[in-house]
Amino acid sequence: MSKLDVTDIQGFVLRGYNLPFARYLFLEIADAQRGRALIKKLLHRITTGEHWDAGKPEWTLNIAFTHKALVNLNLPDASLLSFPVEFLQGMKARGEILSDTGKNAPEKWDEVWREGRADIWLAVNSKAKATLDTLGADLQSVAEETGGAKIVGAQDAGLFWIDGEWSSKEHFGYTDGFGNPDFLGMERDTQPGQGKLMADGSWAPLATGELLLGYADEAGELPVAPIPHLLASNGTFMVYRKLHQNVATFRRYLDEKGKLYAGGKEKLASKFLGRWRDGTPVELSPDARDPSIVKDPQRNVNFTFGNDPGGARCPIGAHVRRTNPRDAFGFNGRLVNRRRITRRGLPYGPYVPEDQPVDDGGEHGIVFMALNASLFRQFEFVQQQWVEYGNDARLGNDKDLLLGNHEARDKHMIQGTEDPKNPPFVCGGLPNFVELRGGNYFFLPSMTALRMIAEGTVDPR
Amino acid sequence: MSNINHKTYAMNAITPMKWWKTWIVRAFFFILGTVKPLQKDLVQLSFIHFARWVIIKRNEFPHVCNQQPREKLKYDYLLFFSNFNGTWNQYIDAFSAVLSVGLNLIWRWSEKFPGSVPVTPFKQYIARCQFDTDYYYTAYPYATTNDVKAAHRVQDALDALEKESAGKTAEEFARSYRKFVLAVQSDLGQTGKAPVGT
Amino acid sequence: MANQSGDVYGLTILSPILQDLTAETSHNCAIRMKLAGLPNDESSPFAKVSSTHMARLVVMDDVVYVGMPSCEEHLKSQYLVFETNFDGDLDTYLTRMAREIPADVDAVWQHCWGYPGTKDMAAFIAYMKKCQITTTFYFADVNNHTVQQTLTALQTQAAVAEFIEKNQDKTAAELQAAFAHFLGKLREAPAPVPGRPEKGGPPRIETDMKWATRNAANTQQVTHNE
């Protein structure tokens, strides 16, 4: 296939910037004309997927729209109605499907999400903290000048600074950032294990259409996309979820159960996720951490579950196994290839070392952002069928220990062996370790589409 | 009306076939029925409780009494009834992804069948040929076929443990029990409400 | 044989529905209305005919027209489709329907051509068999367990999961006592009811350890009595 026109695609889609600071601004559009003027002013500053010959820039800027935003920008009805249903409805309306009920229900969300006021997502990523403020102020003044939109909310996020360097840890202590899929045409260091499994055991990139609209997907079709082609092409959909983490509850649970589990606390933590907290994949090294694997891109994502059908190494319900089953369902992984998502999230809130006291009420969590060509077929499916349910993994109604919206009799089963250090162990009495505080579905248009939206020249066939 | 009873979906589909093609489908089903390895993919997918195909030849619609008008049809019809777990989209996506060869062998003889790959025209065809269930009962609404099979494995293991533990010392029992737990440890998923149909 | 898979029978019946152009409510609408009011949980008539794993009733209005160049054609009658999957043989099942749920069966099938009613058992069975279509290919994922065995197994599965969780840190003696207690409770548990949407069957099997620890001294006695 021909190479992707990277300057037409927003940089946020093509790469995880790995810049340490981020601020997400949420804007409410005032009216269509002034809204378009605002977008026009921002156009030239939006970061595309162009090569960074001179290294990373000081900052990046990207933009995305809810369906309501596009309505408020007066896109033609035919285009508006041609967007996929789930995007039209927005994430709040999909609550039953996503298990955003009870503790995760909209009544518990931050005001900006509860009231559905965020039309536009404007994301700044930067090398320095001060840049967030200067650029933020800059964007504020552009918004005021044009009168196009009001900033109704902001969310800061960023990497933790631990032991003199930037870390990819999150609040539960796990090292994050592994396993984003490879796609055809992307110029990115492919790692074995990231793509799809081939019959001969090798890994190949996924079809571009699993991420980008306008390209063939894994089913050999074009994913459902809005009309006209130019509006959709090179764009993608994003789910944004602010996931509050109950860090105190997690630490307490891990301590308590860690005392009862023969393998010890760290091994127990590894059995929740499917990686040790340093990032070692449990499937490759079930008994001990192994920094050599973590550091080796040829190995740290390169594993399958075919030799571990009983879950004795990586529990069947472990998070990484639930969210990317690889070959665990047989058929050489073919049932998984259309269910992959690209994650771009960052933790928010101050890092609290393990030996320091922490409070569930504190601002600690992850801004979870995932990109996919079809929210319904990819993110929503994984969330509904594999995280909040377990039938495909033959685990009945059991939910993901870390993310699940748990009910009274929920449990996470750790399968074991005869080895006394690796016994079967039931983790019961599961509290909600993660709680949803809001979010929505966004459309990240290509630069061409963005220009059309700004000019008001979207024209459905 | 509902096609869904908690975890199970009752799908009904009818497709017309030119009468001279019917024997091909019958032959294929005969082979499928006798050559068990051909069913292994279906068994591996593991989300169908019960499914059946029923060929009704054009003169075989039940005629019960003289006053009932006799059917006069050109086509034979292939009826399909499935009791499956999961959502409509999930079910068809999975079949299209991994069982397309088998699906094609069954349905290519039906008029205007577009093939099971790519999946969207296939879904459109099914939507055209599907008719809705008016009443659906299942004896175990909170269990999928995976749950049922797991439950039987647990029951068998428990029965064996019960037999084996007669007259054992505490230590001996503890050993048997540990083996028992290892045997059932992947079969303990709880049953419950189904995810919302989408 | 085509209608059977292991111990499970797949019955397919197509009953032609009466057409009365003068009726206020057509017969197929009447059937639909009746079916809409029928419970489909443990109060379902098919829960009473308890050998039923799964059953459906569908009013098939017509054959499908798939579009040109196919020919368009239509059925002269609508058909009531009855698809059921049950344990045992056909005659027993039909007999149970006529004997245990005659009112519901009559209420639905009275709208069909030549329906004799459930009072005359032989005529009823003959009618149903006349409307039966032989299944061409029948797939049953689990075909060697009855409904009751399946419901019991589901109940056991839930109870075992809870037992394992509650007793994973017990000593050998405590475990043995708890297990004996557990088996007793499981045996006493009321038979699960078909059709009921219930996690792991009716009343939770108590796997409480309190009894066993209080009676730890008696564990040896208990094992000898087993």
Q: What is the CATH number of the domain that holds C110?
A: 3.30.70
Query: For residue C42, what are the CA distances in angstroms to A12, C32, C157, C192?
Result: 53, 20, 20, 10
Judge: C141–B79 Cβ closer than 8 Å, yes or no. no
DSSP state of A386: I
* CA–CA distance, A294 with C45 (Å, rounded to integer): 60
Number of B–C residue contacts, CB under 8 Å: 283
Q: Does residue C141 fall inside a structural domain? A: no
Q: Does residue C140 fall inside a structural domain? A: no
In degrees to the nearest 10, what's the CA dihedral of A70, A76, A79, A82? 90
In whole angstroms, what separates CA A154 from the centre of its chain? Answer: 18
Give the chain B residue whose CA is nearest to the CA of A96: B196
Q: Which residues of B touch A394 (CB under 8 A)?
A: 46, 146, 150, 186-187, 189
Q: Are B156 and B68 found together in one domain?
A: no
In whole angstroms, what separates CA C156 from the centre of its chain? Answer: 19
* CA–CA distance, C38 with A38 (Å, rounded to integer): 59
Q: Which residues of A touch C168 (CB under 8 A)?
A: 260, 425-426
pLDDT at position C206 is 55
Q: Does residue B194 fall inside a structural domain? A: no
Verify cis geometry, omega within 30 degrees of 0, for the bond prior to A281: no
Mean per-residue pLDDT, B144-171: 96
Q: Are B14 and B77 found together in one domain?
A: yes
Nearest to B196 by CA among A100, A440, A87: A100
Q: Which of the residues in chain A have pLDDT under 70? A: 1-2
Q: Does residue C90 fall inside a structural domain? A: yes
CB B158 within 8 A of CB C160: yes
pLDDT at position A108 is 97
**Mutate: best of C18, C38, C61, C83, partner B, most B CBs <10 A:** C83
pLDDT at position B84 is 97
What is the residue range of B156's domain? 145-184
Q: Are C50 and C159 found together in one domain?
A: no
Two structure tokens written together for A302: 């390169």
Q: Are C126 and C153 found together in one domain?
A: no
Q: Does residue C138 fall inside a structural domain? A: no
Q: Are B70 and B36 found together in one domain?
A: yes
* CA–CA distance, A390 with A404 (Å, rounded to integer): 11
pLDDT tens by residue, chain C, 226 residues: 689 999 999 999 999 999 988 888 999 999 999 999 999 999 999 999 999 999 999 999 999 999 999 999 999 999 999 999 999 999 999 999 999 999 999 999 999 999 999 999 999 999 999 999 999 999 999 999 999 999 999 999 999 999 999 999 899 999 999 999 999 999 999 999 999 987 644 345 555 544 434 443 343 333 333 3
* CA–CA distance, A347 with A365 (Å, rounded to integer): 6
* CA–CA distance, A108 with A110 (Å, rounded to integer): 7
User: Roughly what angle, to the nearest 10 degrees, separates helices A32-42 and A447-455?
Assistant: 140
Q: Does A400 touch chain B (CB under 8 A)?
A: no
In degrees to the nearest 10, what's the CA dihedral of A107, A111, A115, A119? -130
The one-letter amino acid at A126: S
Q: Looking at the complex, report in whole angstroms how far the Cα of residue C119 sits from the nearest Cα belonging to chain B.
A: 19
Helices (H), C110-146: 121-130
Q: Does residue B24 fall inside a structural domain? A: yes
Pick B117's closest partner by Cβ from A220, A407, A417. A220
State pTM to two decimals: 0.95
Q: Are B96 and B177 found together in one domain?
A: no
CB A397 within 8 A of CB A380: no
pLDDT of B81 > 60? The answer is yes
B198/B174: higher pLDDT = B174
CB B192 within 8 A of CB A99: no
Q: Does residue B78 fall inside a structural domain? A: yes
Phi, psi of C164 (to 5 degrees): -60, -40
pLDDT of B43 > 90? The answer is no
In whole angstroms, what separates CA B5 from the centre of its chain? Answer: 15
Q: Are C89 and C192 found together in one domain?
A: no
Q: Are B61 and B127 found together in one domain?
A: yes
Q: Does B147 touch chain C (CB under 8 A)?
A: yes
Q: Are C13 and C123 found together in one domain?
A: yes
Q: Are C97 and C194 found together in one domain?
A: no
Q: Looking at the complex, report in whole angstroms how far the Cα of residue A423 sits from the nearest Cα belonging to chain B.
A: 9
Beta strand segments in chain B, E: 4-5, 8-17, 48-56, 76-85, 130-131, 135-138
The residues facing C138 across adjacent strands are B52
Q: Does residue B139 fall inside a structural domain? A: no
Number of A–B residue contacts, CB under 8 Å: 100
Q: Are B123 and B26 found together in one domain?
A: yes
Q: Does A408 touch chain B (CB under 8 A)?
A: no
Q: Are B16 and B84 found together in one domain?
A: yes
In this prediction, the answer to ipTM > 0.85 reads yes
Half-sphere exposure of B14 (CA within 13 A, CB side): 21
Q: Are C152 and C120 found together in one domain?
A: no
Q: Does residue B190 fall inside a structural domain? A: no
Phi, psi of B186 (to 5 degrees): -100, 5
Q: Does residue B138 fall inside a structural domain? A: no
The residues facing A369 across adjacent strands are A240
pLDDT at position B35 is 78
Indicate the number of domains in chain C. Answer: 2
Phi, psi of C103 (to 5 degrees): -65, -45
Q: Does residue B98 fall inside a structural domain? A: yes
Region label for A333, one of left (φ > 0), alpha (ψ between -120 and 50) or beta (otherwise):
left
Q: Are C8 and C106 found together in one domain?
A: yes
Q: Are C87 and C153 found together in one domain?
A: no
Q: Are C21 and C108 found together in one domain?
A: yes
B198: confidence class by pLDDT, cuts 50, 70, 90: confident
CB B174 within 8 A of CB C176: yes
Burial of C177 (0-12, 13-18, 19+ CB in 10 A): buried
Judge: B64–C112 Cβ closer than 8 Å, yes or no. yes
> What CATH number has the domain bearing residue B108?
3.30.70
The angle subtended at Cα A404 by Cα A399 and Cα A407, nearest 5°, is: 75
Q: Does residue C53 fall inside a structural domain? A: yes
Tell me the DSSP string of A314-366. S-TT-HHHHH--TTTTSGGGTTTTTS--EE--EEES----TTS---TTSS-EE
CB C216 within 8 A of CB C222: no
The sign of the torsion formed by the CA atoms of B69, B75, B76, B79 equals negative
Pick A260's closest partner by Cβ from C161, C162, C169. C169
Residue-averaged pLDDT of chain B: 94
Q: Are B97 and B179 found together in one domain?
A: no
In degrees to the nearest 10, what's the CA dihedral of A314, A316, A317, A322? 90
What is the residue range of C125's domain? 4-130
Half-sphere exposure of A264 (CA within 13 A, CB side): 8
Q: Does residue C99 fall inside a structural domain? A: yes
* CA–CA distance, A237 with A239 (Å, rounded to integer): 7
- Domain limit, last residue, from C130, C159, C181: C130
Q: Are C158 and C85 found together in one domain?
A: no
Q: 3-state DSSP call for residue C157?
A: helix
Q: Are C37 and C67 found together in one domain?
A: yes
Two structure tokens written together for A172: 């539960």
**Mutate: best of A374, A394, A411, A415, partner B, most B CBs <10 A:** A394
The sign of the torsion formed by the CA atoms of C97, C99, C104, C109 equals positive
Indicate the number of domains in chain B. Answer: 2
Q: Are B110 and B25 found together in one domain?
A: yes
Q: Are B127 and B161 found together in one domain?
A: no
Q: At which residue do the structure tokens 């949803």 appear?
A: A436
* B126 C-beta neighbours (distance < 10 Å), count: 20
Q: Which residues of A touch C165 (CB under 8 A)?
A: 411, 426, 428
Q: Are C157 and C217 found together in one domain?
A: yes
Pick B166's closest partner by Cβ from C76, C160, C226. C226
Strands A236-245 and A365-372, bridge-based pairing = antiparallel
Q: Looking at the complex, report in whole angstroms how far the Cα of residue C42 sits from the nearest Cα belonging to chain A.
A: 21
Q: Are B173 and B86 found together in one domain?
A: no
Neighbours of chain A (3+ CB pairs under 8 A): B, C
User: Roughly what angle, to the nearest 10 degrees, separates helices C147-166 and B170-184?
Assistant: 120
CB A34 within 8 A of CB A147: yes
Q: Are B91 and B159 found together in one domain?
A: no
Q: Does residue B66 fall inside a structural domain? A: yes
Q: At which residue do the structure tokens 């749950």 appear?
A: B147
Judge: A389–B146 Cβ closer than 8 Å, yes or no. no
* Contacts of residue B144, Cβ cutoff 8 Å, sequence gap at least 6: A391, A396, B7, B8, B47, B85
